[in-house]
Amino acid sequence: MDLWFIDNIVLFVRENLDAGMQSVSVPSYFLENQTISGKVANEGIETITSFDVNWNLNGEEINTTSYSGLSLETSQTYNFTSDQELVAVPGSHDFKIWVSNVNGGIDQNPLNDTINKTVGVATQSLQRSPFFESFTSSTCGPCTGFNNSVMNPFIEQHGEEITLIKYQMNWPGSGDPYYTPEGGVRRTYYGVNAVPMLYVEGKNVSTSAGAVNNAFNNGMADPAFVAIEGLHTIDGNVITVEADIHPYVNLYDVTVHIVVIERLTTGNVGSNGETEFHHVMMKMLPDAHGTTMDLPAGISTILTYSHDMSSTFVEEMDDLMVAIFVQDNNTKGIFQAAYTEEAAGFPASVMFDPLPGSTGVETFADVIITLSEPVSMVGGAEITDANAASLITFTETEGDAFPFTATINDDKTVITVSPEGLMDSYTSYTVLLDPVE
């Protein structure tokens, strides 16, 4: 070999005594108390025999665990677990963890001692709908095998549990006739350079059956902290979508994507032998960049968009679906995804907080019923604090009535149901609202 090329070299001088906080296990969003664990590395020359791990929230009380009897040589690591548990208090918190008192002395390189992160503690959790994005093309030979052997059987088994969008790409060769620039934006967003390519929960997943099922199982096991409900209507060639996003943890710099897809298409047949295509993306609302915003915990955000689909590749208007997903702009992770329901029109919507099926609800929590427009008793009588409770049924798992009070706000759009006494843990409760108008 005549020529040598060397790249990506970092030169540095090791300190004699240098412990570095390499990683910590605390997730960015969670519901329950967390065990604090992580990894400390010996980044120096001297053998490390002891150190302290310290952490706190919001600059308050410092929790310290001491470790001794160690023998960490240069570049070796130690997996630690703190004696103290992080108690989950709903809200956003500044979490700081650092290593100190190394070998009973002062660490000579403080720059790698500390990890800071913002963590969000949710008020409750929901079942996640794992979000699948498939990049494919009717001119892609390997796409045929992946769809027929892996994705189609998987959808047959788990289609009701996931949210799926397929983006038709403009290569190889002439590419799929149903390619759109909006699909190209999603391709660029992820850096897709081949088809088929699959992303689950915003992460690239191998196109093998084992990898797909593993990603699905991981998604199902990961709780969601955002509720998504939506309706869509179709009037001629115009589709109108109403998306209701309700987070149970503060979310910052996220994007809400609303995507019109067609269940089945046949007009984009290419050269790969496939004759029908499923969940094909037709339009992203308002566009492929979605709607970027902050979502405060406990506050519903409603987005409404309409689009004339005659300018798209839609084959049958009555075959359209709408998918909604909320994506983290920093990590590309997915907070939650869902399909909307088709409706004849948009009735006055009702949102329960906590949502039906929620877990981890505080035993003293109020139930907030939010209506999209002012309501009255059937027949027109005014709803007041004196009669609001007559509209509510509050029962335990076995059907026994649970005592409560109910009030309504001045705008007649929010009913607050307050349990009288603490509810039991690990017990299901049902709150029903009688018809109003």
Query: Region 309-313: what's the mean pLDDT?
Result: 98
Enter the CATH code of domain 350-433. Answer: 2.60.40
For residue 220, the model assigns a pLDDT of 98
Residue (of 269, 359, 377) closest to 315 by Cα position? 269
Domain residue extents for the chain: 19-120, 131-342, 350-433
Has residue 1 got a pLDDT over 60? no
Q: Do domains 19-120 and 350-433 have the same CATH topology?
A: yes
Please report which confidence band the pLDDT of residue 348 belongs to, taking 50, 70 and 90 as the band edges: low
Has residue 127 got a pLDDT over 70? yes
Query: Region 113-118: what's the mean pLDDT?
Result: 98
Query: Region 391-398: what's the mean pLDDT?
Result: 88
For residue 427, the model assigns a pLDDT of 87
For residue 11, the model assigns a pLDDT of 66
Has residue 237 got a pLDDT over 70? yes
For the ranges 37-46, 57-66, 246-255, 373-382, the lowest mean pLDDT is seen at 373-382
Query: Region 211-223: what's the mean pLDDT?
Result: 98
Please report which confidence band the pLDDT of residue 385 belongs to, taking 50, 70 and 90 as the band edges: very high
For residue 360, the model assigns a pLDDT of 82
Q: For the chain, what is the HEC assignment?
A: CCCCCCCCCCCCCCCCCCEEEEEECCCCEECCCEEEEEEEEECCCCCECCEEEEEEECCCCCEEEEECCCCECCCCEEEEEEEEEECCCCEEEEEEEEEECECCECCCCHHHCEEEEEEEECCCEECCCCEEEEEECCCCHHHHHHHHHHHHHHHHHHCCCCEEEEEECCCCCCCCCCCCHHHHHHHHHHCCCCCCEEEECCEEECCCHHHHHHHHHHHHHCCECEEEEEEEEEECCEEEEEEEEEECCCEEEEEEEEEEEEEEECCCCCCCCCCCEEEEEEEEECCCCCEEEEECCCCCEEEEEEEEHHHCCCCCHHHEEEEEEEEECCCCCEEEEEECEECCCCCCCEEEECCCCCECCCCCCCEEEEECCCCCECCCCCCCCCCHHHHEEEEECCCCECCEEEEECCCCCEEEEEECCCCCCCCCEEEEECCEC
For residue 13, the model assigns a pLDDT of 79
Q: Which fold has domain 19-120?
A: Immunoglobulin-like (2.60.40)
What does the alpha-carbon distance between residue 149 and residue 127 come to, in Å, rounded to a whole number? 28
For residue 358, the model assigns a pLDDT of 80
Token pair recorded at residue 164: 């799926």
In this structure, the number of other CB atoms found within 10 A of the CB of residue 46 comes to 18
Tens digits of per-residue pLDDT, 284-297?
A: 999 999 999 999 99
What does the alpha-carbon distance between residue 314 and residue 63 come to, in Å, rounded to a whole number? 59
Please report which confidence band the pLDDT of residue 185 belongs to, taking 50, 70 and 90 as the band edges: very high
Q: Does domain 131-342 have CATH number 2.60.40.10?
A: yes
Has residue 6 got a pLDDT over 90? no
Please report which confidence band the pLDDT of residue 124 belongs to, taking 50, 70 and 90 as the band edges: very high
Query: Region 375-396: what's the mean pLDDT?
Result: 93
Query: Region 227-244: what's the mean pLDDT?
Result: 95
Q: Is the peptide bond before 286 cis (omega within 30 degrees of 0)?
A: yes
For residue 428, the model assigns a pLDDT of 87
In this structure, the number of other CB atoms found within 10 A of the CB of residue 372 comes to 16
For residue 4, the model assigns a pLDDT of 66
For residue 435, the model assigns a pLDDT of 85
For residue 117, the model assigns a pLDDT of 96
Has residue 175 got a pLDDT over 90? yes
Please report which confidence band the pLDDT of residue 2 belongs to, taking 50, 70 and 90 as the band edges: low
Residue (of 324, 437, 429) closest to 371 by Cα position? 437
Has residue 247 got a pLDDT over 90? yes
Q: What percent of the chain is predicted at pLDDT more than 70? A: 96
Mean pLDDT value across the chain: 94
Please report which confidence band the pLDDT of residue 361 belongs to, taking 50, 70 and 90 as the band edges: confident
Query: Region 250-268: what's the mean pLDDT?
Result: 98
For residue 21, the model assigns a pLDDT of 98
For residue 257, the model assigns a pLDDT of 99
Residue 220 phi, psi (nearest 5): -65, -30
For residue 294, the model assigns a pLDDT of 96
Query: Region 98-120: what's the mean pLDDT?
Result: 97
What does the alpha-carbon distance between residue 142 and residue 130 come to, in Å, rounded to a whole number? 24
For residue 251, the model assigns a pLDDT of 97
In this structure, the number of other CB atoms found within 10 A of the CB of residue 137 comes to 29
Please report which confidence band the pLDDT of residue 9 belongs to, taking 50, 70 and 90 as the band edges: low
Q: What is the pTM of this model?
A: 0.79
Has residue 7 got a pLDDT over 90? no
